């Protein structure tokens, strides 16, 4: 699967199905079927948790 356009510095990929986010460099970053990019802070504010309990550090 191709990486969805629009990611990059300061953005995480939020998987809409599982309600987890993936950091840039993660194998699922931009690649799940349903999702969107947003800042890590926005994802946390919406109650979305980090994949593998690893924050992106940004």
Q: What is the 3-state secondary structure (H, E, C) of the chain?
A: CCCCCCCCCCEEEEECCCCEEECCCCCCCCCCCCEEEEEHHHHHHCCCEEHHHCCCCC
By the 8 A CB rule, do 43 and 13 touch?
Answer: no
46 neighbors 36 (Cβ within 8 angstroms):
no
pTM score:
0.90
Give pLDDT tens digits for 14-55: 999 999 999 999 999 999 999 999 999 999 999 999 999 988
Confidence (pLDDT) at 9: 86
Res. 58 pLDDT band, cuts 50 70 90: low
Question: For 8, left (φ over 0), alpha (ψ -120 to 50), or beta?
Answer: left
């Amino acid at each position: 699967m191709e990486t969805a356009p629009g990611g990059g510095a300061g953005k995480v990929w939020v998987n809409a199905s599982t309600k987890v986010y993936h950091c840039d460099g993660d194998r699922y970053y931009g690649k799940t079927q349903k999702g969107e990019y947003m800042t890590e802070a926005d994802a946390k504010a919406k109650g979305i948790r980090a994949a593998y309990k690893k924050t992106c550090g940004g």
